[in-house]
Amino acid sequence: MVQLRHPQRQAEIKPGDIVRLLQPFKPERSGCREYNFAVVAGVVRDGNSTDKQSSDLEQTLVGQLGLNEIVVYLYEPDSSTIYKDGFGIEALFSFDTDEVELDAAI
């Protein structure tokens, strides 16, 4: 679990949570579709990942870089769908913890 840094948004985020992106995100440069929500796939803070599929090398690199990220699937709450890329794969994206907030409304 990761705790957000902003006092007004203090909450613990864990895989499976829905977060609101503070800025709309366009996954495709040429597309017009923007996403405002995402489903947390994993969190990375101070070199510790909640994703059990991460390799030891990935854990070491993350620890050295000091990343503080949330890895997500883009989510459309109206249709309850996850964004899929041009190959039909649910693409993963990462955001800094300052770029998202836990969304209690969904």
| Residue 10: pLDDT over 50 | no
Closest CA to 75 of 50, 38, 21: 38
| Residue 71, domain extent | 2-102
Supply the pTM of this predicted model. Answer: 0.70
Q: What percent of the chain has pLDDT over 70?
A: 66
Is the CA virtual torsion 13, 19, 24, 27 positive or negative? positive
Contact in structure between 106 and 8 (CB atoms under 8 Å): no
Average pLDDT over residues 70-99: 94
Neighbours of 74 (CB within 10 A): 23
pLDDT at 63: 45
Which residues on neighbouring strands pair with residue 20, listed in sequence order?
A: 37, 101
Count of structural domains, the chain: 1
Q: Which two tokens stand for residue 73?
A: 């699937």
